[in-house]
Structure 1
Amino acid sequence: MTDWIKRTFWQYVARLILRNRIFILLCLVAVTVLMAMQWKHMRFTYTEANLLPDDHPVNQAYNEFLEVFGEEGNLIVIAAKDSALFTPENFNAWNKLSKQLQAKPEVSMVVSTDNLQKLVKNVEKQQFELQDFNSAEVSSDREVDSLKNELFNRLPFYESLLFNKETQTIRTAVYLDKEIVNTKVRKHFIFNDFIPLIEDFEESTGIDLRVSGMPYIRTLNSQNIIDEIGTFIAAALLVTSLIFFFFFRSFRATLISMVVVITGVMWSFGTLGLLKYEITVLTALIPPLIIVIGIPNCIFLINKYQQEFNKHGNQAKSLQRVISKVGNATLMTNMTTAAGFATFIITNSKLLTEFGIVASLNIVFIFILSLLIIPIIYSFMSIPKTKHLKHLNKRWINTFVGWMEDTVRNHRIAVFIVSLIALIASIIGIYQIRISGSLIEDMPKGAAFFDDIRFFEEEFDGIMPVEIMIDTKRKNGVMKPSTLKRMDDLEELIREIPELSAPISVTNLVKYSKQAFYNGNPDYYQLPNSQENTFILSYAKKSSSNANMLSSFVDSTGQVARITTFMKDIGTDKMEGIQEDLDKKIKKALPEERYDVTVTGKALVFMKGTKYLVNNLIMSLSLAIVLISLFMAYMFRSFKMIIVSLVPNILPLIITAGVMGYLGIPIKPSTILVFSIAFGISVDDTIHFLAKYRQELAANHWHIRKSVYRALRETGVSMFYTSIVLFFGFSVFMISNFGGTKALGGLVSMTLLFAMLANLILLPSLLLALERNIANKKVLKKPYIDVLAEDEEEEETTVTP
């Protein structure tokens, strides 16, 4: 009864599609136009990917810091390491660049040699004042040398912030307006104002400038994502169309498939706009993913149409059977693929949840588009010619299928031994995998700004901010001598950590005040003792200049202070070790009973996000396995068949994980996606094979060996076609400049290749080896859902050309 209902349903769907083809085409055009109208709502991300839920303690701590001190990622730094800078012409040009930047409305402040101010003592007023370091253009080498000497030898307050004394590298700090730093205004400023000014300076002076800072890096990185979307789509279309044409040798079949996937791409962009999701490094992958996943649908449908027409030469019957037979199979396989992506929704990470929603929805959309467009367009076209059907009898394909059958028939022991060796070797490799949570690891290694990141790491010990927020639990507690001493002790301990830069805090300003009190003598750049405190404090209280400088380091109540340091680009494992070391130093210098100390910053938030993501993605992969196992159980009603079907799909994942360990590819947000994506796609082959196998068992009176070999011959060609398309389709992502995207493409391609071999060789071998325990009427009962319907005479649908 269930089979009759299912067959009747799909026959009804076939009649509905073919009898209303013009109306359906008009509806598809209308929906496509509506989706295209949603493109205007697409937004490109202007912030780093936050992998943590909003209510996570680490996120809450970071947001609390932002509430007290404001956006910390608004600094852009420009540096020059060239002795030619210290000539009158070039030094004046360097200062002019600072003036030009300061004049921009998007810039809140520039700290450079142009506007650098020295803290000096006014004896008459008994207060500190700010005096210009460089008040006018220099006109001689002597003036430049004098300023250079004073900067490097008499202003330790600015060391690490504006210069490296050892290498004589000098830099300018540009602070963007905090209100625009996470908006599209930032992008406009950097591309239209900032970069042209840098290029003009380099052209006029011949000095190579280095630029970095999170706003600058994020802007160029986002632009790379935007640029790659078009490249990926073009490459995916080119590769899949060439492979498709190679298999089918038909321009019209290739063209129809391109119409399907291009429409799918338009819908995917429309979905992003409709849901108002940002385009991130992950959601940018969805349009080319739809191409790669959509082409196998086209292969199954067009291949079935040509097979049916080759049998009986009736176009109407062929088109109806395409929908009623392959429609059911492609629905099941697309649903398992969509389920693999949908499991990302449970991660509670906004980045992955949005990716999972859009990807799973559009996999369903591409199935619907394939099922509607291909039969309808073919119904308007002339019948296939002999040349269109030649590919059905290719000798090399028959040779490949023959090799698989021979391997399964005569070399099963070798198959099991190779599989076991691969499993053991992979488990060893898995133990060598490391977890990475670096903000910049996946950024384009060939980009100029990546070289600049390394430059700043070498010269100034990093660009990723780590913030230590100290709550003294009492008003004006920060400026207490005991607190300043403890903070200074902590900063000395931080300097002992090679991966962190010299810290910057209120202690630097207090030390500078003492130096100013002693007429600028750098030997007195240190915290004042108890006797000096009284005199220096009296000067500081009268100084408005000190109050302005103090606001960057202490909150308005004087209760909370910050210590800022910068971290080099290191892996998560090292970062965790540094955090543990830092926590010990903090507890030693600032006792918990007297101070509340929070360690935060972009680098640490990203590290915690990676750890959180890895744990949640393991859960999502487990959920994908459970969901698909339940689906297999519903299909075959056999627990033993579930176990057998999972083996050829989980083994490739284990092998891939082992390869990652051996090749040093870390687990990170991009590579962890490989497993859920590959599992959701590779299980499609298992469903096709087992469904055909069960059908053959019934047709061959439960003759197991005969059924296995016939199922292998029947499904081997289509599985090979689709696997090749998927392999080369995902390989397209390897042209990316982003390390994570490149690794994702390579690893998914490799996993799907392993999965194809496992499903075509290991799975049949297991069925034959366990034939008495598995393939019998008691174990393998008639399924609830028969994916491949039996061949039978169906009502023909009249299609008027």
Structure 2
Amino acid sequence: MAEPNTDSISKPVGLVTRMFYWWADRPLAQAFVLVSMSTIAMIGYLQPSLILDWVASADSAVEDPSPQTKHRRGLPGPTGLKGAAAKVEPFQVAGGECVLVARSDDFFTAAGLTAMRSVASELSALPQVRSVLWLDDIPDFNVFGLSGTLLPSSHASARQLEATREQVLRNPLAVGQLISPDGKTLLLHLELDWFFVTNDDAATIEIREQAERAVQQVGGVDIDFQLTGPVPLHLMTVENHVANSRQYQLYGYAIMLLSALFLFRGLAAVLLVAVAPAMGVFWTMGMLHFFDLQDNPFNDIIVPILISLVGLTDAVHLMVEIRSQRAAGRSVRDATRQGIARVGLACVLTSLTTAIGFISLTFAHHEIVQDFGWCCVLGVAMTLVSVLTVIPLGCRSPLGRRLHVGLGKSMIDGQLKRIDPLVGWVLRHDRVVAGAAIVATAVLALISLNLQPDEKRYSGLSESAEAAQALRHLDQSLGGLEFGFVSVNWSEQADEGDLLVVLQEVDDALRQESLIGHPLGLHQLLAALPGDGDAAERMTLLELLPQSLKRAFYQPEGRSAWVQFRVQDLGIAAYGEVFPRIESRLNEVMGEYPGYSLALEGDAPWRWRNVYRIVTDLATSLGTASIVIWLVLTVVYRSIRIGLISIVPNLFPLAATGTLLVLSGQHLELVTVCVFTICIGIAVDDTIHFLTRYQEEQQLGGDHEDVIRRAFTGVGSALLMTTIVLVAGMLTAVVADARDARLFGIMGCLTLTTALFADVVLLPALLSRFSRPRSSRKSSRCNAKPGNISPLDS
């Protein structure tokens, strides 16, 4: 296929074209931007305080809260108490900032008890450990209430140790709380003294290694340790993301570079195309340090890949045009000017529409998503500046003299003619293809609406991380790390003698659910005390409980009590039927006992009630972004019809990806919300390049079918090149260790391939059918056979 005529560019040009000419002719300005942005980014990597201290006063700097305040939410307890009651510290069997998970078959042996007591003692001796809570800290039950310890001496006989094992596994404060029902997993809850936590290892590796040394010193017992909990999960998430980001960025850039070299068959063009988005990534990641956003779990892996995708798309389109101009005999200067003039506006439009999609993320309810949206907006802006700076500046270098080398010899250039018959077939059957495109897009969009919302607290954590492995083990052995609770309140008119009965009804409702782990409340503590009797009689034993233990689940002056339970990290969708059943049963109990108020509370129930916001975020983001993008395209192309036509090829990839998620049993999560919003930005990029070239070819005149063919010839190579290179880069995320990164890679690859299909097959048919000039339509109707006139033409 011949290169389209470019003589029209010699005609009088508009203001936008003159602006691109001006920029292409200013290499010194380009060099200044390149050096300035690189310097600022380098300061961000090395010492961002140099600029932060200059732009902000010292007293306005607010340090981030410590990890424990970000991630720890304690169980309910008495607040606002007066007098002596306010000085009582409730006894808790959970809520440690760090949770040391010990696994062994020998806990109830002399060596096992000696080793675990040594572990607790050695951990307490660490300066960064404020307190350690484990089985030995649980008081024993006897006829006088609670006194002594639950575990016997390490020198006890084998028979005594076996009896102790049975006693421990019957103790409600122990089983399911600090030890698994099979007695093979034991927990130690640690509170940290943050004054002595001078680095991340002090709250993670040093604790586990100290425990391992204590066991080795005792000898004779095999105990495995893993550390999890709010603080290790947070720190290991950051650490693994930093390590993975470097690894997968390196893999992604290598694959994209090799793919580009294979496709372009010209080293000079490949270097410029690769350096442009890479420089955009460098600038963006350096700038994030000024806003303290570098540790966002989406930013360290997804943002660099995403920016590379967006930047590489524009860089390839720009380079293909410049190479074509060079091959036509133009000088480096003229080829660069003409290339930027023809493709520059499309690059600005793609960046603008992509940024619109990301800006919509900033209205989400989740802070992580909001930060991710702003980071992507910053990245898109940096990448646009990088592409429009690096490529024209590089063309002025010695590399520019060899840009046209390899043109026509690449795999894409050689195979593009094979696609021309497909385009011809599409144009001949535009009515059928356009109708099928509209129907298929609508059907897939309807299927996508069946996506169910979900949220996992630690889905972004690397599965090979120690904290993640320990978390999964706790899900299986103790019912999870996270806690929820049922609050019980009663009025002055209610019969407080029914409290234990109500608590038992709550316990029964919770134990009927297999995903609810080990409920614990006041009724179980009183039931474990010696003696018999009904609920009223058991309440008289309340005074035998120490104040610290009683107030862990009961607040008489506030007329409230609560029952805690464990929740697994399976995703909140797994509890979509569990929590409603529990609430239904709680409502029945309230009907049976007037004056009592029961409520399901905690982080997990809160996420279940508010998970619909994920759907709201998605609908708002995609809806707002789609409308604004349509308005932008309509205004820029000065055609409502073109704006409407662009909806189908832009929506089709999203609908296809959503349908695959539905069919594969996936849910709508934070990562999928982000990917959907990203996809609408990426999917519209190639559409904009195609439509821009289409309007240029329309100005040259000719048969409408030839106009579409010439538009495809002008951008077809770039469309195929960018898709192949970008899919190759996205595949690096598919093999990532983190589930969110894998899901991002799979969805990204699917969206890119379906977007290519939409632009190569669906868009030409839609343009042929609905954007044909009136003169062509009249000619088509005159040449049509009687009775075969399409309703769409009439």
Deviation at 1:164, TM superposition (A): 4.2
Deviation at 1:308, TM superposition (A): 2.1
Q: Which amino acid aligns with 2:168?
A: L
- Distance in 2 (alpha carbons) for counterparts of 1:511 and 1:314: 92
* Change over 3 Å in CA distance of 1:624–1:751 after alignment to 2: same
Alignment-derived partner of residue 733 in structure 2: 733
CA offsets 1:191-217 (integer angstroms, 9 cap, x no match): 232222354467753334465544444
Q: 1:168 aligns with which of 169, 177, 183?
A: 183
Deviation at 1:625, TM superposition (A): 0.8
Q: Which amino acid aligns with 1:376?
A: L
Q: Which amino acid aligns with 2:356?
A: A
Matched, 1:10 2:20: yes
SS at 1:503's partner residue? strand
- Distance in 2 (alpha carbons) for counterparts of 1:333 and 1:615: 26
Contact persistence 2:350–2:688 (CA under 8 A): yes
SS at 1:434's partner residue? coil
SS at 2:670's partner residue? coil
Q: 1:243 aligns with which of 259, 266, 270?
A: 259
- Distance in 1 (alpha carbons) for counterparts of 2:604 and 2:371: 23
SS at 1:564's partner residue? strand
Matched, 1:326 2:343: yes
- Distance in 2 (alpha carbons) for counterparts of 1:218 and 1:66: 28
CA offsets 1:628-658 (integer angstroms, 9 cap, x no match): 1101110222222222121112122212211
Q: 1:501 aligns with which of 517, 524, 529?
A: 517
Q: Which amino acid aligns with 2:485?
A: E
SS at 1:174's partner residue? strand
Deviation at 1:612, TM superposition (A): 0.7
Contact persistence 2:494–2:596 (CA under 8 A): no
- Distance in 2 (alpha carbons) for counterparts of 1:75 and 1:263: 40
Matched, 1:196 2:209: yes
- Distance in 2 (alpha carbons) for counterparts of 1:299 and 1:775: 36
Matched, 1:561 2:570: no
Contact persistence 2:350–2:685 (CA under 8 A): yes
Matched, 1:490 2:506: yes
Alignment-derived partner of residue 111 in structure 2: 89
Matched, 1:466 2:475: no
Q: How does 1:474-623 map to 2 (within 5 A)?
A: 480-512=496-528, 514-515=529-530, 524=532, 529-531=535-537, 533-534=539-540, 536-537=541-542, 539-540=544-545, 546-554=546-554, 557-590=557-590, 594-623=595-624
Matched, 1:625 2:622: no
Alignment-derived partner of residue 789 in structure 2: none
Contact persistence 1:435–1:571 (CA under 8 A): no
Matched, 1:405 2:406: no
Identity of aligned residues (%): 18
SS at 1:552's partner residue? coil
* Change over 3 Å in CA distance of 1:386–1:97 after alignment to 2: closer
Q: 2:292 aligns with which of 276, 281, 293?
A: 276
Unaligned stretches of 5+ residues in structure 1: 51-58, 123-127, 519-523, 541-545, 779-801
Unaligned stretches of 5+ residues in structure 2: 1-10, 53-62, 81-89, 779-794
- Distance in 1 (alpha carbons) for counterparts of 2:179 and 2:724: 55
Deviation at 1:498, TM superposition (A): 1.9
* Change over 3 Å in CA distance of 1:400–1:739 after alignment to 2: farther
Contact persistence 1:682–1:752 (CA under 8 A): yes
Q: Which amino acid aligns with 1:668?
A: E
Q: Which amino acid aligns with 1:488?
A: Q
TM-score, normalised relative to structure 1 = 0.82
- Distance in 1 (alpha carbons) for counterparts of 2:154 and 2:736: 46
Q: How does 1:139-150 map to 2 (within 5 A)?
A: 140-150=157-167
Q: Which amino acid aligns with 2:616?
A: N
SS at 1:312's partner residue? coil
- Distance in 2 (alpha carbons) for counterparts of 1:478 and 1:459: 39
- Distance in 2 (alpha carbons) for counterparts of 1:185 and 1:119: 41
* Change over 3 Å in CA distance of 1:773–1:595 after alignment to 2: farther
Q: How does 1:385-400 map to 2 (within 5 A)?
A: 385=402, 388-391=405-408, 396-400=414-418
SS at 1:352's partner residue? helix
CA offsets 1:661-720 (integer angstroms, 9 cap, x no match): 22222221111223221111111211111221121122125x211111111111111111
Alignment-derived partner of residue 32 in structure 1: 41
* Change over 3 Å in CA distance of 1:142–1:538 after alignment to 2: closer
Q: How does 1:781-800 map to 2 (within 5 A)?
A: none
- Distance in 1 (alpha carbons) for counterparts of 2:186 and 2:750: 46
Q: Which amino acid aligns with 1:697?
A: Q
* Change over 3 Å in CA distance of 1:663–1:21 after alignment to 2: closer
* Change over 3 Å in CA distance of 1:47–1:231 after alignment to 2: farther
Deviation at 1:451, TM superposition (A): 4.8
Give the stretch that moved more between structures: 647-656 or 291-300. Answer: 291-300
Aligned Cα RMSD in Å? 3.8
Deviation at 1:253, TM superposition (A): 3.6
Contact persistence 1:265–1:287 (CA under 8 A): yes
* Change over 3 Å in CA distance of 1:111–1:30 after alignment to 2: closer
Give the stretch that moved more between structures: 742-751 or 273-282. Answer: 273-282
* Change over 3 Å in CA distance of 1:776–1:237 after alignment to 2: same
SS at 2:136's partner residue? coil
Contact persistence 1:614–1:669 (CA under 8 A): no
Q: Which amino acid aligns with 2:188?
A: A
* Change over 3 Å in CA distance of 1:775–1:208 after alignment to 2: farther
CA offsets 1:404-454 (integer angstroms, 9 cap, x no match): 434334554674586478558746754664332233455444555545444
Alignment-derived partner of residue 757 in structure 1: 757
SS at 2:401's partner residue? coil
SS at 1:666's partner residue? coil
- Distance in 2 (alpha carbons) for counterparts of 1:530 and 1:759: 75
- Distance in 2 (alpha carbons) for counterparts of 1:555 and 1:187: 38
* Change over 3 Å in CA distance of 1:668–1:202 after alignment to 2: farther
Alignment-derived partner of residue 521 in structure 1: none
Deviation at 1:175, TM superposition (A): 3.9
* Change over 3 Å in CA distance of 1:479–1:168 after alignment to 2: farther
Contact persistence 2:285–2:294 (CA under 8 A): no
* Change over 3 Å in CA distance of 1:271–1:74 after alignment to 2: farther
SS at 1:196's partner residue? helix
- Distance in 2 (alpha carbons) for counterparts of 1:658 and 1:551: 51
- Distance in 1 (alpha carbons) for counterparts of 2:355 and 2:77: 39
Contact persistence 1:106–1:186 (CA under 8 A): no
Alignment-derived partner of residue 437 in structure 1: 455
* Change over 3 Å in CA distance of 1:327–1:233 after alignment to 2: same
- Distance in 2 (alpha carbons) for counterparts of 1:133 and 1:585: 35
Deviation at 1:609, TM superposition (A): 4.5
Contact persistence 1:735–1:742 (CA under 8 A): yes
- Distance in 2 (alpha carbons) for counterparts of 1:532 and 1:651: 65
* Change over 3 Å in CA distance of 1:721–1:46 after alignment to 2: farther
Contact persistence 1:98–1:172 (CA under 8 A): no
- Distance in 2 (alpha carbons) for counterparts of 1:332 and 1:683: 9
CA offsets 1:733-753 (integer angstroms, 9 cap, x no match): 212222222112111211121
SS at 1:102's partner residue? helix
Deviation at 1:552, TM superposition (A): 2.8
SS at 1:390's partner residue? coil
Deviation at 1:82, TM superposition (A): 4.3
- Distance in 2 (alpha carbons) for counterparts of 1:776 and 1:529: 89
Task: Give the paired residue count.
Answer: 740
Contact persistence 1:429–1:661 (CA under 8 A): yes
Alignment-derived partner of residue 786 in structure 2: none
